[in-house]
Amino acid sequence: MAGVNTAPTSPGIRAQDRDSFGPSTVREEVILQVKDLRTYFTTRWGTVKAVDGVSFDLRKGETLGIVGESGSGKSVTSLSVMRLVPSPPGHIVGGQVILDGVDLLQLSESEMSKVRGDKVSMILQDPMTALNPVFNVENQVGEAIRIHQGLRGKGLLDKIIDALRKVRIPAPETRIKDYPHQLSGGMRQRVVGAIGISCEPLVLIADEPTTSLDVTIQAAYLRLLKEIQAETGLAIIFITHDFGIVAKMCDRVAVMYAGKIVEFGDVRQIFNHPTHPYTEALLSSVPKLEEKTDRLYAIAGQPPALYNLPPGCSFAPRCPYVADRCKEEYPPMFSSEERHVTACWNWDKVGKAQ
């Protein structure tokens, strides 16, 4: 559509080549495998199945997006992979998380803390709470390196400066003495990123890392993550509610609803022909900068309470394609095309005009 993406830039505007921003160089080697993960919370209203049978795999150098609304279980999935679910009330009651051939759920707590921050690390949403206000940058970036690699003195310092340089913090030699309050939001999030990649992890989990950042700062940060990925072959799990970030960053997408993955496929498959009604609705309910519709597609109703899920498909009460069977039986995963699966009885009707 005529508009922003095709508008010629006037003479003089320097635009960077987007080719470096294309799909990641995905290798076939699977680095992380999550099988039938179940994380339940015990509450006074009953058992909340926050993550209920989630399975996915992640390949080297790949970016996987996990999309969903609040309460869909996307953050609990990532916390379960890190084994950071607050317990009580939360318990990982079943499944496997196989990282580099080792099932993380079978490790002891002390073995797990050797893995956490070293082989798998995390970037959280709010850089102000992720950083400790009373320690300077050097301390916080150095902590993981000191613990996992046993470096001290000059070696440690070099490694810290190296990590800060990787996240493009200008003049890292002077910045390392700064405290979080002396940094801007974008810089703080870069420091959090530096902590995440300081030990060269295999997998980086980014849980809404840019929601608290401004648009232009967000663009720079996303580009940075892509560049780091291209340099290191890092596999990234991107937790987000924003399909824009998915479109820009991800190779494959898992859409979650009420604790389950309802659709899983390559990013173009998901955007071009979604086969789950929830994905379809989410994609068409977001206003687009490039194209205008006479009305926004609105999903009726609210996401369900997780302690009181309807029998059958959890999306059935809000679904425009609902049939009797949906209310009784949870659908299995259907494969609509190669590498594209969906949990919907009526997947072949989705997207066809109503």
Partner 1 sequence: MTTSTARRPKVIKGMEHLAVPKDEILLKATGVKKYFPVSRGFSLFGGKANLKAVDDVSFEIRAGETFGLVGESGCGKTTTAKMVLNLDKPTAGDITFEGKTVLKMDSAVRQNFRTNVQAVFQDPWSSLNPRMRVRSIVGEPMEIATTMTKQQITARVGELLTEVGLNPYQANLYPHEFSGGQRQRIGIARALALSPKLVVLDEPVSALDVSIRAQIMNLLVDLQKQHGLAYLLIAHNLATVRYMCHRVGVMYLGKIVEMGDTDPLFDDPLHPYTRALISAALPSHPDIKREEIILPGEVPSPINPPSGCTFNPRCPVKIGAVCEEMKPVLAEEKSRHRVSCHLYEKSKKAAEDVAKAAAAAPAVPSTNGAKQA
Q: Site residues (CB under 8 A) for partner 1?
A: 2-5, 7, 9-10, 12-16, 18, 21, 69-70, 184, 186-187, 214-220, 223, 241-248, 267-268, 271, 281-282, 284-303, 320, 353-354
- The C-alpha torsion from 56 through 58 and 59 to 61, rounded to 10°, is 150
Yes or no: say if 164 and 122 are a contact pair by the CB < 8 Å rule: no
Q: Which is nearer to partner 1, 236 or 282 (CB)?
A: 282
Q: Which is nearer to partner 1, 104 or 282 (CB)?
A: 282
Closest approach of partner 1 to the CB of residue 110, in Å:
39
For residue 285, the one-letter residue type is: S
Query: Residue 46: CB partners within 8 Å, gap ≥ 6?
Result: 307, 308
Closest approach of partner 1 to the CB of residue 257, in Å:
10
Closest approach of partner 1 to the CB of residue 354, in Å:
6
Q: Which is nearer to partner 1, 155 or 297 (CB)?
A: 297
Question: Scanning the structure block, which residue is given the tokens 């994380």?
Answer: 39
Which helix (DSSP H) or strand (DSSP E) does residue 174 occupy?
helix 172-175
Q: Which is nearer to partner 1, 5 or 308 (CB)?
A: 5
Strands, DSSP E only, in 191-284? 203-207, 235-240, 252-257, 260-266
Closest approach of partner 1 to the CB of residue 156, in Å:
29
* Cβ atoms within 10 Å, residue 218: 20
Strands of the sheet containing 90-99, edge to edge, are: 46-59, 30-43, 90-99, 102-103
Q: Which is nearer to partner 1, 142 or 209 (CB)?
A: 209
* Cβ atoms within 10 Å, residue 42: 13
Closest approach of partner 1 to the CB of residue 22, in Å:
9
